Amino acid sequence: MLKRKFRYSASIINRLTLLMFFLGAMALLALSLSIQVANETKGSAYMINQLGLIRMKSYQLLSMIPIEKQHYDQLNIFNDMPSSEQLKLFERYHLIAELNQLQSLWVTAIAPKIKQASNIHEIKNEIDDFVAQTDKLVNQIDQKTENQIHYISQLQLVFIILIALFLLVQTYYLRRYLLAPWRKLISMAESISQHNFSQRFNSKKSKKNEFDLLGQAFNKMAEQIELQYQLLEERVTEKTAELQQINKILSFQYQAIKQLHTSDPLCERFLIILRKLEELVPLTQFQIRFYESDNIEHYQQISYANQQKLPYCQNSECNACLIPAKSYQENGFQRYWYLQEKGEKFGILFAVQPSKMHLSAEQENLITALVEQMTTALMLDRQIEQQKQYLLMKERSAMARELHDSIAQSLSCLKIHLSCLQMQPDLTSHTSIDLLATMRKEVNITYSQLRELITSFRLRLNQTGFYASLMELIEEFNQKLKFTIQTEYQLPLNLINSKYAFHLLQCVRESLNNIYKHANATQVKISLTIDENQIITVSIKDNGVGLQNNTNQDNHYGLIIMRDRVEILNGNLTINSKPNLGTEIVVTFKATTMIPVRRIEE
């Protein structure tokens, strides 16, 4: 910042010094004039006394008439007069001529007459005239002295008036040019101390003094302090806003973590969080695609701002899908973030970002952290489901092992003994032979059912869920049937839990196995749908030869087991079949979990 140097052209100190000098000079002049006038009156009293002494001596000489010769020296009454230095008073008073005249009158006229006078009456008139002239001179001296005194008083009065006027002018000057600026500076200082920087010192445009210099310095200081104060206020406001934003972000993250790790449906957990996220970042129109398998073509998508709730939503109190979205510009572009962990894909998060707006580093970090939390929540849900599958499979494997090691072994041994008994040569009774044949048939059926049950107990689900396990099963039979099975999967994510998934997969396996072994079909279609009443329908349809015999015959033990499994699902099994027109097996049962999402076709 450039530093501006202030200068003054008229010093108030010099002015005050000049005023004091003028005041002192005026006082000194008054004193000097008074002293001078007083000096001019110096000796007037003494001379009046001397003239009075001369007058007295003249009267003494009058009383001594006739005067004797030995007293003639007393006639010199002017011998006691002061020296020429003291006589300068008459010169200053312009009375030296009157004094000389009076002295000449005494010496030339009166003194000789006194010597010649024989009585008082002869000289009395002359003495009276002399005394009168002496009194006149005294009066003149006295008048001159009084004039001088009056002059001194007038002179002092004039100087008093001048000094008073000068003091008034000086007071006015000090109040205007010293006190007023000083009060203004003090007022500015007090205002600045109270964070009021609006006051300014109005300096003169020309002949600036020290106060103008201080005022300009105060103005500059006030401007700089005001600027710094405004900057500090802006910084404080910014920091406060940042802290509030950080607090909102932390609060949001805390609430998001709590919301994500609840047992609520996915739509309620995720959509509410994403709508709140819109208030913190310049993004809108959030959507999430969830993957139930590695097949990215199959996904389930959730979003809010829908016109109405899902028709088959089981939670009447949840309105997560109806939350209105934040308005956004039409020229926005779409962004996405992957929900994946260690190469395992759980889904993709989509959002619309306005073209003219950018995300800050904090906002990017917030979204990244939220994506990680969402991924963790999905991973935990999947791990919990896998743990349930593991426990169920562990229990079923133990049951299968026990069945294999006990009942299956016993049935195998019984089959061997029945075969040996049928081979005995002494067995001649037809009734016994028929009974052994019936017993062997029943044992074979029981053994087959047991083997089928053991196989179902050992069936394992794919670790990613029911859909992936179903796709693996369909791919297995694609290879066996040498053609591709048509699949229509319209179920929401994680709708089929582990307990029911085993039975439903086994029903599909049994149907496909029957098609592979007996149908001679060239087309197979499997569809899984759900209606508004939360009824799940699983259909396996082929164009094969159909069921040629009654499905209730004893040799259709696979269908019997299938019915048992459907009963476990609390559902219904329907078999529609005609000879040479194919077969359709339909399993219907009610969903046992909340319907969080629906399939969205693009």
| Structure confidence by residue, pLDDT tens digits, 333-387 | 888 888 888 777 778 888 888 888 888 888 888 888 888 888 888 888 777 777 7
Listed residue (383, 381, 386, 388) closest to 265, CA to CA: 381
Residue 229 lies in a domain: no
Residue 110 pLDDT class (50, 70, 90 cuts): confident
Best mean pLDDT range from 255-264, 325-334, 491-500, 556-565: 255-264
Q: Is 241 exposed, middle or buried (0-12, 13-18, 19+ CB in 10 A)?
A: exposed
Out of 146, 175, 192, pick the residue that ends a domain: 192
Average confidence (pLDDT) over 122-131: 84
Among the ranges given (84-98, 240-254, 442-456), the one the predictor scored with the smallest mean pLDDT: 442-456
Residue 251 lies in a domain: no
Among the ranges given (260-274, 281-295, 421-435), the one the predictor scored with the smallest mean pLDDT: 421-435
Share of residues in the chain with pLDDT > 90 (%): 4
Same domain, residue pair 469 and 585: yes
Same domain, residue pair 170 and 269: no
In 117-179, where does DSSP find H-type helix?
120-174
Same domain, residue pair 506 and 368: no
In whole angstroms, give the CA distance from residue 531 to residue 99.
156
What CATH number is attached to the domain comprising 154? 1.20.120.960
pLDDT at residue 550 greater than cutoff 80 = no
pLDDT at residue 234 greater than cutoff 50 = yes
pLDDT digit string, tens, across residues 481-502: 889 999 988 887 767 776 778 7
Q: Is 236 exposed, middle or buried (0-12, 13-18, 19+ CB in 10 A)?
A: exposed
Residue 554 pLDDT class (50, 70, 90 cuts): very low
Residue 171, phi then psi, degrees to nearest 5: -60, -45
pLDDT digit string, tens, across residues 129-183: 888 888 888 888 888 888 888 888 888 888 889 888 988 988 888 888 788 888 8
Among the ranges given (172-181, 464-473, 574-583, 588-597), the one the predictor scored with the smallest mean pLDDT: 588-597
pLDDT at residue 2 greater than cutoff 50 = no
Side-chain half-sphere CA neighbours of 241 within 13 A: 7
Contact 471, 430 (CB under 8 A): no
pLDDT at residue 5 greater than cutoff 60 = no
Share of residues in the chain with pLDDT > 70 (%): 78
Listed residue (161, 212, 192, 292) closest to 7, CA to CA: 212
Give me the residues paired with residue 499 across strands. Answer: none
- Looking up tokens 């005995």 gives 424
Distance of CA 30 to the CA centre of its chain: 74
Same domain, residue pair 477 and 368: no
Residue 426: the pLDDT is 67
Angle, to 10 degrees, between the axis of helix 361-405 and the axis of helix 210-260? 10
Contact 273, 369 (CB under 8 A): no
Residue 297: the pLDDT is 64
Residue 299 lies in a domain: yes
Angle, to 10 degrees, between the axis of helix 96-105 and the axis of helix 120-174? 170
Alpha-carbon Rg for the chain in angstroms: 69
Amino acid in the structure at residue 128? D
What CATH number is attached to the domain comprising 564? 3.30.565.10
Residue 436: the pLDDT is 72
Same domain, residue pair 322 and 467: no
Average pLDDT, the chain: 78
Give me the residues paired with residue 349 across strands. Answer: 288, 337
Same domain, residue pair 40 and 182: yes
Contact 256, 273 (CB under 8 A): yes
What CATH number is attached to the domain comprising 328? 3.30.450
Out of 378, 393, 410, pick the residue that ends a domain: 378
Average confidence (pLDDT) over 387-394: 69
Residue 491 lies in a domain: yes
SS3 591: coil
Same domain, residue pair 73 and 185: yes
Same domain, residue pair 179 and 278: no
In whole angstroms, give the CA distance from residue 339 to residue 375.
5
Q: Which tops the pLDDT comparison, 161 or 84?
A: 161
Average confidence (pLDDT) over 456-466: 58
Residue 457 lies in a domain: no
pLDDT at residue 191 greater than cutoff 90 = no
- Spatial CB neighbours of 68, under 8 Å, sequence gap ≥ 6: none
Residue 392: the pLDDT is 65
Would you state the structure tokens that stand for residue 178, as one six-digit string? 């010293």
Same domain, residue pair 481 and 602: yes
Contact 393, 460 (CB under 8 A): yes
pTM of the model: 0.52
Would you state the structure tokens that stand for residue 215, as one six-digit string? 């005022």
Residue 454 lies in a domain: no
pLDDT at residue 586 greater than cutoff 90 = yes
Contact 34, 156 (CB under 8 A): yes
Residue 596: the pLDDT is 43
Same domain, residue pair 592 and 486: yes
Among the ranges given (321-325, 572-576, 596-600), the one the predictor scored with the smallest mean pLDDT: 596-600
Q: Is 361 exposed, middle or buried (0-12, 13-18, 19+ CB in 10 A)?
A: exposed
In whole angstroms, give the CA distance from residue 416 to residue 124.
208
Residue 393 lies in a domain: no
Same domain, residue pair 159 and 268: no
Contact 502, 392 (CB under 8 A): yes
In whole angstroms, give the CA distance from residue 232 to residue 234.
5
Out of 136, 159, 192, pick the residue that ends a domain: 192
Q: Which tops the pLDDT comparison, 537 or 410?
A: 537
- Looking up tokens 């979990």 gives 593
pLDDT digit string, tens, across residues 508-541: 888 888 888 888 888 999 999 888 778 889 999 9
First CA to last CA across the chain, in angstroms? 62
Residue 459: the pLDDT is 55
Number of domain units in the chain: 3
Same domain, residue pair 182 and 285: no
Residue 403: the pLDDT is 61
pLDDT at residue 598 greater than cutoff 50 = no
Residue 331, phi then psi, degrees to nearest 5: -90, 25
Residue 452 lies in a domain: no
Residue 415: the pLDDT is 67
Contact 314, 595 (CB under 8 A): yes
- Please give the residue range of the domain that contains residue 90: 12-192
